[in-house]
């Protein structure tokens, strides 16, 4: 049975550095983000590592991996999310999948998907919806 959990992770730090800047304003960048959150449905500490491409107009596309530890649906463990996203100048959107076989502890058989959508008004929070199964 699929469970849907909506939670907000607090952005504890965001360290982003360009590794290639092009003369026309485009750039490639790496970001390391520390996140943490707790509510009735989840307690998660996570790291999000991503690579980003910025167009000259500031929009971007990116991909990354999130390593999360904590409690989800009353079960303790860890898991990895693979995600891809875009930023249109106003809203960041990410869709992701829980990497099969990445779960540990009571989350060893975790499967599912993740969605994120936020604007600058959400900062310093990272809203996230998880649709998951634990077998």
CATH number of 16's domain = 2.40.350.10
Tell me the mean pLDDT in the region 108-128.
Answer: 95
Range of the domain at 109: 3-134
Percent of the chain with pLDDT over 90: 93
Q: Which residue has the tokens 């590592």?
A: 49
Question: In angstroms, rounded to a whole number, what is the distance separating the alpha carbons of residues 20 and 41?
Answer: 40
Whether 25 has a pLDDT exceeding 90, the answer reads yes
Mean pLDDT of the chain: 96
Cα–Cα distance between 5 and 1 in angstroms, integer? Answer: 13
- The number of folded domains in the chain is 1
């Amino acid at each position: 049975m699929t469970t849907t959990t909506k939670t907000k992770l607090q952005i504890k730090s965001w360290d982003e550095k360009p590794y290639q800047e092009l003369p026309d304003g485009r750039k490639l960048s790496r970001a390391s983000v520390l996140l943490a959150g707790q509510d009735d449905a989840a307690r998660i500490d996570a790291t999000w590592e991503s690579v980003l491409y910025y167009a000259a107009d500031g929009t971007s596309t990116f991909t990354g991996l999130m390593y999360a530890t904590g409690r989800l649906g009353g079960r303790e463990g860890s898991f990895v999310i693979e995600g891809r996203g875009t930023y249109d100048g106003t809203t960041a959107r990410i869709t992701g999948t829980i990497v099969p076989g990445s779960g540990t502890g009571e989350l060893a058989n975790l499967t599912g998907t993740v969605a994120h959508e936020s604007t600058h008004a959400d900062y310093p929070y990272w809203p996230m919806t998880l649709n998951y199964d634990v077998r």
